[in-house]
A and B are shown apart, each in its own frame.
Chain A
């Protein structure tokens, strides 16, 4: 087919769509704002629920980009996306213009900036980290406090920036619960004698094997789950973190001192997602892009030739993102075949 598709975003969604299109003889130009492709999974060490090395997945995805029909352009951030006639155009800050028959938004998510919840002390106290920081530490298999000690007590705090009216995010980010289970197990494997606590509102274990892992974390690893949201964190004289919370099952306020507090930061629409959606009148709630419909039109938009894939629409897990990307490719090919 002598058609070209522009894919904005070189994360899992962008790569998977690009490869599916390339296999169907469609030319693809994939534009990534960073130096490297693979997006947010670059920051992850192991994946839930099977503890697969993220590196393996990254390798598989990167190899797909070697297909001759795919051209990858990195270090290029698209600031302007617009249709003209039957064509789509994308521009970066240097006025470099890309042209194609269709465009796909695969601009993904960003993790919630935990500094916006000042009461939790991220960026203020040394021993408050985010789940993303935990992943980075875990690369070297060293989870340590700021003083370099091995923590004897660690707490994971769910729903930071998700299901939180105050910060304007009413939605559930879907991946943090299972990620907390995964990270708690990883920690307990490294430091079997330590205590691990996890504060939650609901443990949402809706994916395959999630529930099993949640049980295992309690039965085999002894992770303690406490239902209740933490209201504030303070620092103690020895630089540990004291958290105030309410145990809503026993209806009692509680204080707990831990060596390390991990904030399970939620998913927010990336700046690029919001910017390009807004330009094309496809901006939905909370800055995410809005698909044409929830069912068969989930990859389409109100704009002919503009498609969506992955977490630019809503929080999704990695397998869901990849499936969604392949489904986007199907819709794009259908569109290319019926349009001049």
Chain B
């Protein structure tokens, strides 16, 4: 039997690693919520599983996503992950050929050169030796890049690298040593037995002056020991992302997504975080306000180790930029929302006092302006004008006795309160018998789409205006103004509405682009989701955003969210208008619209345009 005591640390480490991973997998899967389990059962034995396997190869081994974002960083990951994977696969094949059976000692492949000392005569021995040396070289190049990245993260195009925990440091140091030690151990053996390839053999020749006989065993012991250290530290360190990402990819392909409450999938997602720190660079709190200890990577780390503080959980704009940037696809904002959830009081209702009206007027459209639009009355007045010009019969649901849509409560973790509001609003909406619900506020819009179970479709007013134009009910004239559009977080990243606002704006003026658009757009700073930062910090975020948005010096900065409008207006840099306002002053009158009580406002608005 090919045995030497130095294989023991490795074997022990491997057994511990597999035991822990299996234990974790099982407990996570048990903790999946009902919806997630339903999707797993439904899709497990479908084509989706094959697709997921392909994605595992692309993302977990080749790291295509990271490669696309940053080629050097991508190569580093690929050389380490895919290189090591091939070392194991090719090494196992080689040792099986050598032993003449597939069931040789499991450690043989790992310490192959030590045991296979005699001249190689098994199938393709020379080729195997070459390939194994080549793969080792590839992995070593990855290790070298990793070390450079630690020293100078800017080299990798990253401004901030993540700060590490103790387990991370143990695992990281072990990982750095595994392959250099393997190289040295194999080269020493090669110096003695002459079984090396172009890399180990050459290094062996160089070592011929050294006391190789005395060095050989200590080096193999060291190699086995660092493997032990890496395996044992791995489940408690950020390297847990390696086995976890695989299961995440399968679950995601099967259709499981983060729900309202923290679940097994949330556990899997936070363990799948490699702490690469890409989210730090994406975060406006970091680059516009110099706050760099609250980003998703730290939030996830603290959640995983159960020492999350309110200050970190609540210090987030929930803008979704990090979710967009995350190469692993972790639903960072949703998990943060789950961690903000407050305890529920069974049976408690919060808004029994709120007396809300039913609708008796049989409208085509229910219009819900939202609390924030009530603070920007010009948007409401513009919408009234648009409805009237298009001849649409609408019911203004929250004109006098409206309730909040529930989303701000939800974002702060008051789920029960939010549900109370939702049920009251749903009753009102359905009482109208209307065919469509239109809202002016992207925050409400996201809530209606995701949290409500509505019998009728919901549209943001930009989408609704686009439909009115397409159906010929609304005719607009071109104002000749240059316009830059600011994507509100909740409308863009939140609801994937990017094209309708742009289509409408193209009808009224010259639409210009800005540097950060659509998925990459910035938060205006006025987010209701962050209860930690003060106004001065919000102002920094806003002013940085304004600088980006007005780089092309547009006549008008358009947005589609009352909250964005309010925060951007106070920057005092450019005329800021909601799309509805710009539309309302550029309507071509087919028939005389009903006089809306706004004459003064509209005239003033025209003046400020000239």
Asked if A225 is at the interface of the complex by the 8 Å CB criterion, the answer is no
Is A126 in contact with B377, judged by CB distance below 8 angstroms?
Answer: no
Find B569's partner among A116, A121, A234 (CB 8 Å cutoff): A116
Is B566 in contact with A235, judged by CB distance below 8 angstroms?
Answer: no
Asked if A167 is at the interface of the complex by the 8 Å CB criterion, the answer is yes
Asked if B570 is at the interface of the complex by the 8 Å CB criterion, the answer is yes
Asked if B453 is at the interface of the complex by the 8 Å CB criterion, the answer is no
Interface residues of A, CB < 8 Å — how many?
A: 20
Find A168's partner among B374, B381, B539, B597 (CB 8 Å cutoff): B539
Asked if B51 is at the interface of the complex by the 8 Å CB criterion, the answer is no
Residues from chain B with a CB closer than 8 A to the CB of A119 are 374-377
Chain A residues 66-125 with CB under 8 Å of chain B are 115-116, 118-119, 121, 123-125
Is B535 in contact with A166, judged by CB distance below 8 angstroms?
Answer: yes
| Closest A residue to B600 using CB positions | A126
Is A118 in contact with B598, judged by CB distance below 8 angstroms?
Answer: no
Interface residues of B, CB < 8 Å — how many?
A: 17
Is A235 in contact with B601, judged by CB distance below 8 angstroms?
Answer: no
Give bound CA distance, A290 to B77, whole Å: 56
Q: A116-B569, A167-B570 are in contact. Are A121 and B535 (CB under 8 A)?
A: no
Find A124's partner among B381, B539, B569 (CB 8 Å cutoff): B381
Give bound CA distance, A235 to B604, whole Å: 17
Is A232 in contact with B569, judged by CB distance below 8 angstroms?
Answer: no
Binary per-residue interface labels of chain A (38-59) against chain B in the complex, 1 for a CB within 8 Å, 0 otherwise: 0000000000000000000000
| Closest B residue to A231 using CB positions | B375
Q: A116-B569, A118-B569 are in contact. Are A123 and B539 (CB under 8 A)?
A: no
The count of A-to-B residue pairs whose CB atoms sit within 8 angstroms is: 47
Asked if B378 is at the interface of the complex by the 8 Å CB criterion, the answer is yes
Is B566 in contact with A123, judged by CB distance below 8 angstroms?
Answer: no
Find A121's partner among B377, B566, B570, B572 (CB 8 Å cutoff): B377
Q: How far is the CB of A263 from chain B (nearest CB, A)?
A: 14
Residue with the greatest number of chain A CB neighbours at <10 A, chosen from B377, B535, B566: B377
Is A232 in contact with B539, judged by CB distance below 8 angstroms?
Answer: no
Binary per-residue interface labels of chain B (406-424) against chain A in the complex, 1 for a CB within 8 Å, 0 otherwise: 0000000000000000000
Give bound CA distance, A118 to B380, whole Å: 12
Q: How far is the CB of B209 from chain A (nearest CB, A)?
A: 71
Is A234 in contact with B570, judged by CB distance below 8 angstroms?
Answer: no
Residues from chain B with a CB closer than 8 A to the CB of A239 are 597
Q: How far is the CB of B544 from chain A (nearest CB, A)?
A: 16
Q: A123-B604, A165-B535 are in contact. Are A232 and B374 (CB under 8 A)?
A: yes
Find A234's partner among B374, B539, B566 (CB 8 Å cutoff): B374
Is A232 in contact with B570, judged by CB distance below 8 angstroms?
Answer: no
Give bound CA distance, A165 to B526, whole Å: 13
Q: How far is the CB of B610 from chain A (nearest CB, A)?
A: 15
Residues from chain A with a CB closer than 8 A to the CB of B569 are 116, 118
Binary per-residue interface labels of chain A (136-171) against chain B in the complex, 1 for a CB within 8 Å, 0 otherwise: 000000000010000000000000000001111000
Residues from chain A with a CB closer than 8 A to the CB of B604 are 115, 123
Q: How far is the CB of B601 from chain A (nearest CB, A)?
A: 4
Is B570 in contact with A124, judged by CB distance below 8 angstroms?
Answer: no
Q: How far is the CB of B157 from chain A (nearest CB, A)?
A: 36
Is B376 in contact with A118, judged by CB distance below 8 angstroms?
Answer: yes
Is A124 in contact with B535, judged by CB distance below 8 angstroms?
Answer: no
Q: A116-B569, A116-B570, A118-B569 are in contact. Are A124 and B378 (CB under 8 A)?
A: yes
Residues from chain A with a CB closer than 8 A to the CB of B598 are 124
A-B contact pairs, 23 of them (CB 8 A): A115-B604, A116-B569, A116-B570, A116-B572, A118-B566, A118-B569, A119-B375, A119-B376, A121-B377, A123-B600, A124-B381, A124-B598, A125-B377, A125-B600, A125-B601, A126-B600, A165-B535, A166-B535, A166-B570, A167-B570, A168-B572, A232-B374, A233-B377
